[in-house]
Structure 1
Amino acid sequence: MSNSEEVTATVTRLVELLGGLDILVNNAGIGAVGTVEDNDDDEWRRVLDVNLLGYVRVSRAAIPHLRRSDHAAIVNVASVAATVGLPNRALYSASKAAVVGLTVAMAADHLREGIRVNCVNPGTASTPWVDRLLSAAEDPAKERAALELRQPLGRLVKPEEIARSIAYLASPWSGSTTGTCLYVDGGLSSLRIPN
């Protein structure tokens, strides 16, 4: 993700193997914990290099191939952290907010070329990364319960729910959808349900 030449070579090889390219899903990312004071410049560069510039590099390599597709779609995976203030996630939130901005700008830039660009903003999902964070907590069960309570639905988002949302946005069934962020967050971004 961090080397433009390698990314371009990989995309070119995949297009040759597959005989073309219709869909790109940008779903790489690394986390960061802390306030704006807690991460130094090198950590900011490292996270932005993967979470934002990685998407830029892969998209830049894929777009020439996507232009030849009758159903071209790019789906970027951002996060509810892009638009909801979560404590101790300044760097991560900034990187994902940049993905949202990139998504709508790319949608405007490539609409006339027949490439739709959307993003999915998941809430806290039951993933290995979240499990690693929880295992480092003083009381993992208490921390998991707090994460579940934070989402109005009362549970973590399932990875397959995110995958289905990506599949929908990538499919021709959503042919009139572009420049949109689909929240798959258990209501975190829009609902306020008393506990």
Structure 2
Amino acid sequence: MDLGLADATAVVVGGGRGMGLAAARCLADDGARIALIGRTAAVLDAAADELSGRGSPDAVGLVADTGDDAQVQRAFDQIGRRWGGGLNILINAVGPSVQGTFDDLTDEQWRTAIDEGALGMVRCVRAALPLLRAADWARIVNFAAQSTQRQSPRLAAYTAAKAMVTSVSKNLSLSLASDEILVNVVSPGSIASEALTGWAESVGVDSSDPYALMAAIDEHFGHPAHLPRAGLPDEIGPVVAFLASKRNSYMTGANVNVDGGSDFT
């Protein structure tokens, strides 16, 4: 499907690896110009080189910590100067690293989870808004999590941060409607991201086997899906790309589950 992204401009925060990179690949395949924002230059440069090879003109990686508002603003200022105008797409794919039960979590861990998982997104949207408003059309896609709808005791702070992403995104879909900027959320379920596969290896599970990975998730987190396997990052990318594209012309304020099947909420 032609998503209408030839020469569109896109920023993918957390696009150097995992689900963010999977989304960026889909945008690149359709000819979008892509800037990746993350914290590790080598990872970003490698990803930008890959995207250039897939058809993204002028793909670039920009180092910025989304926990630092000044760094975020500098990155978006660079993007504005580089492309000389508006921004069509902002994708926020960064999530918190904090895990633990309510009884175990410290105040500092709660603050870290909210800052990594939600306030980073807020900073990026705030910095991007002048560029998004200057574009002929604009879309925002934020990553939440299916665990906000099916709770797990071990993901208390993580889920709280992602619930904030969902709430802020819903508010943005309303407040930016007059600008015709569409804002949607994607909620991945058990996806074999780098963080999840790293955890699996640490508990002795073959992370390359999506069926074994789902069995371990069920045992440790109680998050089984209707399908008997974990998902793959490349199964998220096309969904995000559609929501971020001109093909999506009337869908805003939605929370789209990509989770292998769960109860409707």
Instruction: Give the CA RMSD over aligned residues.
Output: 1.8
**Residue in structure 1 matched with residue 74 of structure 2 by the alignment:** 9
> Aligned pair 1:178/2:252, yes or no?
yes
Between stretches 149-158 and 42-51, larger displacement belongs to 149-158
Q: Secondary structure at the match of 2:199?
A: helix
**Residue in structure 2 matched with residue 89 of structure 1 by the alignment:** 155
How far residue 140 of structure 1 moved from its aligned partner, in angstroms, is 2.0
How far residue 88 of structure 1 moved from its aligned partner, in angstroms, is 1.0
Residues 65 and 35 from structure 1, CA distance in 2 versus in 1: closer, same or farther, beyond 3 angstroms? same
> Aligned pair 1:76/2:146, yes or no?
no
Q: Deviations over 1:84-127 (max 9, x none)?
A: 11231111111111111011001111010121110100001011
**Residue in structure 1 matched with residue 235 of structure 2 by the alignment:** 161
Supply the AA of the counterpart residue of 1:13.
Answer: Q
Q: Secondary structure at the match of 1:28?
A: coil
Supply the AA of the counterpart residue of 2:224.
Answer: R
How far residue 134 of structure 1 moved from its aligned partner, in angstroms, is 1.1
What TM-score do the two structures reach when normalised by structure 2?
0.68
What TM-score do the two structures reach when normalised by structure 1?
0.91
> Aligned pair 1:117/2:187, yes or no?
no
2:90–2:128 contact (8 Å) kept in structure 1: yes
Q: Secondary structure at the match of 2:158?
A: helix
Structure 1: 4+ residue segments shifted above 4 A: 141-144
Q: Between the two proteins, what is the percent identity of the paired residues? A: 32
**Residue in structure 2 matched with residue 25 of structure 1 by the alignment:** 91
Q: Secondary structure at the match of 1:173?
A: coil
Can you give the 5+ residue segments of structure 1 that lack an aligned partner in the other structure?
A: none
Can you give the 5+ residue segments of structure 2 that lack an aligned partner in the other structure?
A: 1-65, 207-211
Distance (whole Å) between structure 1 residues aligned to residue 263 and residue 108 of structure 2: 30
- Give aligned pairs, total: 190
Q: Secondary structure at the match of 2:176?
A: helix
